[in-house]
Amino acid sequence: MAAVQGGLVDADEDKDIKTEASNDSWGNNNANDGRLLSPSPGSSASAGSNKSAAGASEEQQTLLAVLQFLRKNKLTESVEILRREAGLPEDSLEPKGAESSGAGSGGASGGVDLEGGDASSLLSRVTASSTAGAQAPTKVAAGEDQPDVNVVLSAYSQQGDPALYEVYYSGLKRFIESVLDCHRAELSQVFYPLFVHMYLELVYNNHESEAKAFFEKFSGDQECYYEDDLRVLSSLTKKEHMRGNETLLDFRTSKFVLRISRDSYQLLKRHLQERQNNQIWNIIQEHLYIDIFDGMPRSKSQIDAMSGSLAGEAKREANKAKVYYGLLKEPEIELPLDDEDEEAENEEGKPKKKKPKKDSLGSKSKKQDPNAPSQNRIPLPELKDSDKLDKIMYMKEATKRIRLGPDNLPSICFYSFLNAYQGLTAVDFTDDSSLIAGGFADSTVRVWSVTPKKLRKVKSAADLNLIDKESDDVLERIMDEKTASESKILCGHSGPVYGISFSPDRNYLLSSSEDGTVRLWSLQTFTCLVGYKGHNYPVWDTQFSPHGYYFVSGGHDRVARLWATDHYQPLRMFSGHLADVTCTRFHPNSNYVATGSSDRTIRLWDVLNGNCVRIFTGHKGPIHALAFSPNGKFLASGATDGRVLLWDIGHGLMVGELKGHTDTIYSLRFSRDGEILASGSMDNTVRLWDATKAFDDLETDDFTAATGHIHLQDNSQELLLGTYMTKSTPVIHLHFTRRNLLLAAGAYNP
């Protein structure tokens, strides 16, 4: 069963969960896998039977309260259906004192006191008591952007003695520190989510001094990568602060996922049952999702590699869906011979040399890749004649491409934006490297020609009527020479421009801004064609599909949107992130979109149905850079933690970690053949990594994929091929030309 789909709970899955929950409530409590606390081993059999009778009686009271509530609201049909399903007799709803036969258990039947017929007070009482017995791994629809705050906070109304919170937490801490080393690392994962929810419970119930003492005593014990979250948490000191607080809603509405081996889980469960530690057990049930796996417990380094996100690790089933990561078959275009090729001495040798190089592009193989999606899985635009000409140019350039490797590193050409007092916020190059565009904090977009060819606008309509449309050079004649200049300024946004992207055919430019819009600009007329309005908050990034037509945007509203240039409303909304979507990237086959977020996770979305098919956790800070390998198999990500993580998309696993940068990584790019990975950072450096070596001989056997156990080699220094310093320019964009020259860009920071 696939995991959370597009941020909404899958209908079938939801049904399954409800069925399980009802079985646990009305059926055999022993099958509950310890979710309801069983009596301590020392208690007698009679005490056990009394408790089960009391439990059944309590369940019956809950049911009767619900029935009374429905009847009070004149929902008689619902009352009858529920009564029949629960097997209650018709007279069970008679007022106070009526006998009820229970759900098939004679011992549990008896008089049910409805407290003077006040069904609502009974309902509130049994609801409070029944939340303790709720099943832990129910799922939350993460797509609900702003749930009713009162409903969200009411989960904290149930509480124990505030003075005992420190005792409970200290007791658990002592226990975990005393267990065997192999279990300690895994069980230590519960400290952070427990600390957060216990603190929030104290604050919600107005125990401010106890909450402050609790925070001061235990906040220092938490992992360093939760520092930012704890800083936000420390500002929530009163109940009023909790209302409308996004961080709190994140903690509350998304279950914190822990991946723990069965042996470690049994240890924890046994300890809590023996101590009758209901307070902690309730929090584990209510707010945590424990993903139990069979096998050896994970080591501290394995856990640290995967943890750090806002909601813990990804559930294993979240990464089980099939992903078609292969490349689409390229259209067959005949490659005409150049004049220089015809004049060459060895006429036959030339094409033969070309062939293997053409195949080495990966995307040009004639055979269909078994891992590739079908050509018509999503509708893609047909190739125009101009596109075919561009493909031919691309193939010609590819034959002259330099093969990169550890012994043959690329040259780097750096474009420094001098005196960029407007504040450079985004940069992009066209695929053929002929144009460069910059987005600025003064809400403008500027486009420059990198070649001697100047930028020209199309002539006015009146002048166009005078042109001979049949002439061979009609495309040249329609351009107005009077408007030729090295750069153009595009004005239209009403806030800083945070993301820009050229279309593959170089006819259009996208820009996204703080004003909540994405604009499409024509590079023929240098005017705005469309303003796409869907985001309500700043849009941090936008990117065109490699095949054009589609584009994706992501912003502060935590949702990524898929658009088509000819639709003014989004085609898909990718909802599921718990914080801002900070960067977006299309897969080379255009069937998937990757998004990086401030919640420190990366998600891969299926364009066809909007489902989330991969969730990657491991970064310790907001993610700002994503890059797919040219063959579509791997993804590289960079974040504020200064680390580059490498992911195997097919298996859904982290396969590498590259350390070296000392500041936020803002740009990642693979060379055209995928042998080199370049990373650009705010630490004023460009670093080159050996991608071929990083991805060779990966151990992605079935066991690794099933358990998520990863053994990362600490071989960053071996993989680092070169570090290139700028004088004082943060690197915010990288681009490999078709011949594998590396272009970099940033604004000089005096």
3-state secondary structure of 614: strand
Q: Which range among 328-342, 535-549, 733-747 shows the weakest confidence by mean pLDDT?
A: 328-342
CATH code 2.40.50.140 for 412-423+535-698+716-747: no
pLDDT computed for residue 38 by the predictor: 36
User: For 485-500, what is the mean pLDDT?
Assistant: 91
Q: Specify the pLDDT at position 365.
A: 46
* Extents of the domains making up the chain: 160-313, 412-423+535-698+716-747
Q: How confident is the model at residue 716 (pLDDT cuts 50, 70, 90)?
A: confident
Contact 688, 743 (CB under 8 A): no
- Count of beta carbons in the 10 Å neighbourhood of residue 108: 19
Residue 282: which residues within 8 A CB-CB, separation 6 or more? 131, 132, 158
Strands 539-544 and 550-555: antiparallel
First to last CA, the chain: 55
Containing 172, the helix (H) or strand (E) segment is helix 164-178
pLDDT for residue 717: 80
Residue 519: strand pairing partners: 511, 531
Task: For residues 416-441, give the mean pLDDT.
Answer: 89
> What average pLDDT does this structure show over 227-243?
81
Which pLDDT does position 441 carry in this prediction? 92
Whether 362 has a pLDDT exceeding 70, the answer reads no
Two structure tokens written together for 104: 């098939």
CB 642 within 8 A of CB 662: yes
Nearest CA to 434 among 445, 450, 447?
A: 450
275 HSE (CA, 13 A, CB side): 19
How confident is residue 203, by pLDDT bands cut at 50, 70 and 90? confident
Q: Which residue has the higher pLDDT, 343 or 77?
A: 77
CA–CA dist 503, 543 (Å, integer): 9
pLDDT digits (tens, 9 = 90+) for 327-359: 888 777 766 655 444 444 444 444 444 444 444
Q: Output the pLDDT for position 468.
A: 66
Q: Which residue has the tokens 């005096």?
A: 750
CB 194 within 8 A of CB 169: yes
Predicted TM-score (pTM) of the model is: 0.74
Per this entry, what is the length of the chain?
Answer: 750
The CB density around residue 167, as the number of other CB atoms within 10 Å, is 12
Rounded to an integer, what distance in angstroms lies between the CA atom of residue 720 and that of residue 663? 17
Strands 581-586 and 288-293: unpaired
CA 69 remoteness from chain centre: 41
- The gap from C-alpha 706 to its chain's centroid, in whole angstroms, comes to 20
Residue 37 Cα distances to 41, 45, 273, 278, 364, angstroms: 12, 16, 6, 8, 61
Per DSSP, what are the bridge partners of residue 735?
743
Residue 209 pLDDT more than 50? yes
Q: Residue 406's pLDDT is what?
A: 87
pLDDT value at position 639? 93
Helix/strand number for the chain, H first, E second: 23, 33
pLDDT at 17: 35
- Using the predicted structure, report yes or no on whether residue 432 has a pLDDT greater than 80: yes
Residue 119, amino acid? A
Distance CA(502)–CA(457), nearest Å, equals 17
Contact present, 251 and 194 (Cβ < 8 Å): no
What local confidence, expressed as pLDDT, does residue 443 receive?
A: 92
CATH entry, 160-313, from 3.20.20.60, 1.25.40.500, 2.60.40.1180, 3.30.200.20:
1.25.40.500
Which has the higher per-residue pLDDT, 419 or 243? 419
User: CA 693, CA 687: separation in Å to the nearest integer?
Assistant: 16
In degrees to the nearest 10, what's the CA dihedral of 40, 41, 46, 52?
A: 50
pLDDT digits 0-9 by tens, 550-559 = 999 999 999 9
Determine the Cα angle at 656 with ends 653 and 661, to 5°: 135
142-146, 206-210, 504-508: which range is least confident on average? 142-146
Please determine, for residue 649, whether its predicted confidence score (pLDDT) is greater than 60.
Answer: yes
Position 399 pLDDT exceeds 60: yes
The CA distance from 680 to 213, in Å, is 43
Q: Which of 172-186, 268-282, 593-607, 683-697 has the lowest mean pLDDT?
A: 268-282
Among 507, 542, 544, 513, which Cα is nearest to 526's? Answer: 507
Range of weakest confidence among 28-42, 409-423, 452-466, 511-525: 28-42
Least confident among 9-18, 304-313, 465-474, 696-705: 9-18
DSSP state of 301: H
283 burial class (0-12, 13-18, 19+ CB within 10 angstroms)?
Answer: buried
- The tokens of 341 are what? 């090729």
Which residue in 447, 560, 555, 548 sits closest to 498, CA to CA?
555
CA distance 498 to 368: 38
Closest CA to 704 of 298, 326, 370, 322: 298
Return d(Cα 630, Cα 281) in angstroms, integer. Answer: 48
């819009």: which residue's tokens? Answer: 517
Q: Helix or strand or coil: residue 166?
A: helix
Q: Which amino acid is at 281?
A: W
d(CA 319, CA 2): 8
**Burial letters 478-507, b for 16+ CB under 10 A, else e:** bbeeeeeeeebebebbeebbbbbbbbbbbe
The pairing of strands 487-491 and 720-725 is: unpaired
Lookup: tokens for 254: 């998304």
- Kindly report which listed range (48-57, 72-81, 129-138) carries the lowest average pLDDT score: 129-138
Structure tokens at 257: 């996922």
Taking Cα atoms as reference points, which of 215, 158, 313 lies closest to residue 708?
313
Q: How far is Cα 462 from Cα 465, in angstroms, rounded to an integer?
A: 6
pLDDT above 70: residue 300: yes
Question: Per the structure block, which two tokens stand in for 429?
Answer: 């190059």
Q: Write down the pLDDT at residue 58.
A: 63
Confidence of residue 440 (pLDDT cuts 50, 70, 90): very high
